[in-house]
Amino acid sequence: MTLDELKSGKILLIDKPLQWTSFDVVNKIRYSILKKYNLKKFKVGHAGTLDPLATGLLIVCLGKATKSIAQFQSLNKEYTGTITLGATTPSYDLETDIDKKYPIEHLNKQMILEAADNFKGKSLQTPPVYSAIKKNGKKLYEHARKGETVEIKKRPIEIFDFEIIQIDLPEVRFRVKVSKGTYIRSLAYDFGRYLETGGHLSALRRTKIGSFDVNNAMEIKDWLDEIEKI
């Protein structure tokens, strides 16, 4: 792999580790290239943010391939994960502490399966207040951390498939295929609200972006080993 080959454009499929931000991955890859080739700058970008508490497929574009980022961002995505029922958090996931608890004794398998079916199709979704969407020049999570209340505009989304894999209350494991712009944290929150139990996302893994599959992705260590051998 020569520098010219990297500059002409390369796409990396990375399996993002837990606790890393998407920018952590980008910065690590960029630094490895700068160091290897003694450069001051090099274009690296990712095509779709994953939260630090999520793992899985991240498309990283190098050199001229960064021009394709918008194209990759528009692709449908598939995830597996876990919704924990009976409690909510302000961030809709484990980034923040539980703020309310609800009974779950009334729940049964049929109710949960019917709830999943209810979410299939097109709808308007409210993004989490703990997100990077900008409002009044600031990211929503910046407003949230200051205790500021802001109106969040709903966004059109589509859920193509929502399969319940396993029920072990309070945990519900699922697989979901969604359109661009869908927040799985919001889906977890809305799912709990529909069941009148509250809910939050307790695990998430992105498995596919369009036809790209996490099974074909490398770990950060694999990339660092590869570039070191050049």
Domain spans, the chain: 3-74+211-228, 77-209
Unique residue bearing structure tokens 């939050």 = 200
- 213 catalytic, yes or no? no
* Cα–Cα dist 211/69, whole Å: 15
> What 3-state class would DSSP assign to 182?
coil
Question: Which residue in the list 4, 15, 24, 51 is annotated as catalytic?
Answer: 51
Average pLDDT over the chain, rounded to whole? 91
Predicted TM-score (pTM) of this structure: 0.91
DSSP at 17: P
pLDDT value at residue 13: 98
* Cα–Cα dist 14/32, whole Å: 15
Domain boundaries 77-209, CATH class: alpha beta
For residue 131, what are the CA distances in angstroms to 36, 166, 203, 207, 216? 34, 28, 17, 21, 28
Domain boundaries 3-74+211-228, CATH class: alpha beta
Q: How confident is the model at residue 43 (pLDDT cuts 50, 70, 90)?
A: very high
